[in-house]
Each structure stands twice: as structure tokens, then as C-alpha cells.
Amino acid sequence: PPPRRPSPRGCFLLWGRTQDGGRLSGSGSLLGQFTAPIIARQAAGGLLEFAHHPKEKTMRLSSDSFKDGAVIPGEFAFCVPAREGHVALSTNLNPHLAWADAPAGTRSFALICHDPDVPSRGDDVNQEGRSVPAELPRVDFFHWVLVDLPASTTAIAPGSHACAVTPHGKPGPDLPDGSRHRINDYTGWFAGDAQMEGNYFGYDGPCPPWNDSIRHRYVFTLFALDIPRVPVEGAFTGQQVRDAIA
């Protein structure tokens, strides 16, 4: 029989965005799907807020690497602004993340980091004398997709999943603790580049177009699941994970 679809027990979202000059800042906001008695309601800006039963705890996601509204250090980015060439490669560490109060019945966690503000066309991206227009439709770019984190996991240490820019990509998908990470979207971005092309598994941080007209957001979403293994195989995509846990 086909594998049973998981039920998302809860999720919490933490997001960062680029500021002027290529700096990154972070904000925290609660999003996701929870079991009753959580009640979702539409909020301004298209985000979801949640009304919580006073006796129920809410899963909390936090980071020591960046705080609400504070600058995300360039050490957690794939590239940083530079005087020559506009950008330079950075140390590309994955940020620290920690969580608490997972829902009862949680058997594993899944983590997705994506940028929802990537240009849908690359004609103007990083082109001298041009800028990416703000009105251009935007698409998701997956920076990190990690599934099957054991239910006992409560934190990810900084630099534990990425500690440098790795030309041709890091290996995967299997990790020592039984979790799996997928190829991120730098795999497609570097296709055809002899110096960089390859399968980029795991985390690779922000590197927004230096000539974009809008700020980019970097969304870290943690899902608590009631199954030990997400039913995706091989070089699965971020969207496939979303579909599998929907």
C-alpha cells in the first residue's frame, strides 16, 4: 500500500530579509497548521496568526544566530557585499536553531528554509547598469530542506550542517543521525558552470541578486510530524516535501 500521509502536528516560522547594502535581518512570526484547539485566522499581509487555548503550549523556534529585527551576520550567508565584483563568497555557516514544546505525538521534524522573493526571470539578475524590477513575479528558492530529524532533537548547532561554500556541492542525502537533506536550488543555479556545478545538498545560505529592487526574506519553517520518515526518496525537492506533509 502507498505510505500514509503524515499529519503536520505544528510548525513555527522564523524569517530574515535582506536590508539595504545586502545586510540580513531577522523577524519571528508564528505560522502553520496545528491540531485543535488552535484556530487560524487571516491577518494583514496574508500571514496567519493563531489563537491558542490557554492550557495548550505552543511550539517555539528560536535562534542565537539572529534575533527578531536584528542583522543576520554575513557568516551565515553564501555571499556578502564586496567593493569589487559586488559580492564575495562568505563562510556559509548554517545558523543555530532551537525549539521547544513540540506537540504530543511528534515522531520527527522537518525543516525548510526558502527565499520567496527570487526573480521568476533571470534577464536582469546581476547585470551591470540594470536592476531587477520590483513588479517582476517572484518564486521560491529552497536554501535548506532537512527531513526525518529524530523527535528527540531540540537544536541544530551553528556550522553543523554547513561550514563553507563547497564548490560542486556537499554530499547527501543521508546524515549520521538518520535524517536526510535534499539538494537545494543552487544545484539549478550553477548548472553549466564548470567551476561550481554539482548537487548542492543541505544548507547553502543567502546570496540575493546585488541589483534587486526589493528586499529578500529567508524563511525557516520547522514542522513537527506524526511519522518517523517523510515519504520522499532520492534527490527530493523542497516542493515534494511540502506536498508530502500537507
Kindly tell me if the per-residue pLDDT of 92 is higher than 60. yes
Q: DSSP assignment of 203-225, as one string?
A: -------TTBSS--EEEEEEEEE
Q: What does the pLDDT average to over 215-232?
A: 91
Residue 49 has what pLDDT?
28
C-alpha cell at 48: 496567519
Residues comprising the chain, all counted? 246
Q: Tell me 188's DSSP state.
A: H
Q: Which amino acid is at 124?
A: D
Closest Cα to residue 143, out of 189, 74, 84? 189
pLDDT tier at 1, thresholds 50, 70, 90: very low
Phi, psi torsion values for 245, nearest 5 degrees: -105, 5
Residue 70 has what pLDDT?
66
Task: Order the strands of the 60-62 sheet from edge to edge.
Answer: 60-62, 97-100, 155-156
pTM: 0.79
Q: pLDDT (tens digit, 9 = 90+) per residue, 29-73?
A: 222 222 222 222 222 222 222 333 344 568 889 999 987 656 678
pLDDT tier at 201, thresholds 50, 70, 90: very high
CA dihedral 119, 123, 127, 128 (to 10 degrees): -120
Q: What does the pLDDT average to over 76-86?
A: 91
pLDDT tier at 134, thresholds 50, 70, 90: very high
Closest Cα to residue 105, out of 241, 222, 229, 224? 224
